[in-house]
Structure 1
Amino acid sequence: MIRKRHSVIVTTLLIALVLQIVPLPIQVDLYRPDWVLIVLAYWSMALPHRVNVGVAFLTGVAVDILVGTTLGIHSLSLSISIYILAANYQRLRNYSVWQQAIVIGLLSSLYHLLTFWVQHLLTDIYFQLDYLWPVLTSMLLWPWVFWLLRKTRRQFSIS
């Protein structure tokens, strides 16, 4: 029973990791949503005692390895974003799905700005507004991902 609960959460995170690195055409890749952040945000709001900053950190390490960035960049950004979400999860649960989408957009922008800031400190990249297109797509996908993950959580009786 406990293994089934953990395996569903791990499976959804693995699917998010695969969606994060699946090859897309250059024109579409610019708009790739933050799949890992969206899935982590759902689980940390739904089950904050199971999915927390530690899970976000480990998932961020996996993103760093898969994407090929300096180890710790995505870990730091995901950990800070999920910490802010986990600190306010009781308030966010009472928001409508569309209000939650705005919060997800704010968290996604924080995630991207933190990632850019750390990469800027380590390398010599400069900010472009194109870095923030995934914020919009993450906001637009949130209601559907929320509905799908909630249905999955209820179907497998994960609590």
Structure 2
Amino acid sequence: MSSLVIALSLLVAMVMAILPLPLGIDAFRPDWVLLVIFYWTLALPHRVSVGIAWLCGMMIDIMLGSTLGVHALALTLVTYVATMNFQRVRNFPVWQQAGVVVILVAAKLLLVFWVEHLTNDVVITGRYFWPALTSAAMWFWLFPLLRRLRRRFRIR
């Protein structure tokens, strides 16, 4: 049952990642998949870690039609950093964790841009980093929601 809850939370995050939004709002879309993976990495690093991040990244690449492996690489590297520091970050208050979220999402965005820049002709704009800030804002809402879900279903 607990694996099903984790898988469903990741599936909902992936659906929210590809959900069509108006152009004016789309630039502010939080990185839902990274947020959910980050939560499960902090809460259960022995169950959700780099392999799950790679699998989710490959699925995002397929769903978005981007260069295969770009999001997988970025999610894997960012999740590796989060996994190596989970004991420290887990003890931070939520507002400091939101600061870590800003750094991780910005690093993921930079990695995706860098690889896409090497393979395709893309340019970076000022709006490119808005998801880092909106992801941190969503962390204040998502963290208690996923914690309540984990406690309700007794996921260990």
Q: TM-score if structure 1 supplies the norm length?
A: 0.97
Equivalent of 1:28, from 12, 25, 31? 25
Task: Say whether 1:122 aligns with 2:124.
Answer: no
Task: Name the counterpart of 1:48.
Answer: 45
Out of 75, 78, 85, the residue aligned to residue 75 of structure 2 is: 78
Distance 2:125 2:87 in 1: 35
Q: Which runs of 4+ in 1 moved over 6 A?
A: none
SS in 1 for 2:68: coil
Q: Is residue 156 of structure 2 the alignment partner of residue 156 of structure 1?
A: no
The equivalent residue for 2:5 is 8
Distance (whole Å) between structure 1 residues aligned to residue 124 and residue 154 of structure 2: 44
Correspondences of 1:66-105 after superposition (within 5 Å): 66-105=63-102
| Runs of 5+ consecutive residues of structure 1 not aligned to the other structure | none
* Separation (CA, whole Å) in 2 of partners of 1:155 and 1:32: 28
Superposed displacement of residue 126, structure 1? 1.6
Residue 110 of structure 2 is matched in structure 1 by 113
Stretches of structure 2 lacking an aligned partner (at least 5 in a row): none
Corresponding residue SS for 2:78:
helix
Query: What TM-score, normalized to structure 2?
Result: 0.99
Mapped to 1, the partners of 2:108 and 2:30 lie a distance apart of: 12
RMSD, aligned CA: 0.5
Report the Cα offset of residue 124 of structure 1. Answer: 1.2
Q: Deviation per CA, 1:61-116, whole angstroms, max 9, x where unpaired? A: 01001111011000000000000000000000110000000000100000000000
TM-superposed CA distance for 1:143, in Å, is 1.4
